[in-house]
Structure 1
Amino acid sequence: MPTNSHDFIRPADASERAYLESLVRADYDKSHPGETFDDMKRRVSFSREDQGLYRDWIALAAARAEATQAAEAMPIAA
């Protein structure tokens, strides 16, 4: 996992991208009243600010996915 969001996260396919977006969509919507994650995604093609914002949210999603995967892989001591 890159430690800097400028080291781009490149989902392998559309389903991975959808999964990553699902991890942050609600948080984005809560922190940007009057706007949705999809609104920001629509502006990505022409707004450098939204490109960076999207990249940062996907980096956060990748970190969350990695943490979830690590937690699931950790054996439970009996």
Structure 2
Amino acid sequence: MASEEERSYLESLIREDYERCHPGETLEDLKRRASFSKEDKGLLRDWMAVAAARAATDQAKARHD
């Protein structure tokens, strides 16, 4: 399980894109709904997977620089 710091970092990688894809909604809205909605829990999981992939790409780039 990710630490609070790791989770915040991952969320920062997707927040802008999520909010652009879902006008009028925030990532915080999704996180709140995910606590009681299976569909939103799955959507949050998918977005966090995107964030993890972006983080891995960023780390790989940093190693090569």
Is 1:29 matched with 2:19? yes
Q: Unpaired runs of 5+ in structure 2?
A: none
CA positional deviation for 1:66: 0.2
Partner of 2:55: 65
Aligned residue pairs total 65
Structure 1: which 5+ runs fail to align? Answer: 1-9
Q: Shift in Å at residue 74 of structure 1?
A: 1.0
Bigger relative CO (Cα 8 Å, ≥ 6 apart): 1
> Where does structure 1 differ by over 6 angstroms across 4 or more consecutive aligned residues?
none
- Matched to 2:19, the amino acid is D
1:46 maps to what in 2? Answer: 36
The one-letter amino acid of 2:7's match is: R
RMSD between aligned residues: 0.9
So what's the TM-score if we normalise by structure 2? 0.95
Normalized per residue, the structure richer in helix is 2
TM-score (norm 1): 0.80
Aligned-partner Cα distance in 2 for 1:35–1:26:
11
Deviations 1:28-50 (A, max 9, x none): 00000111111111001100011
Aligned-pair identity in percent equals: 57
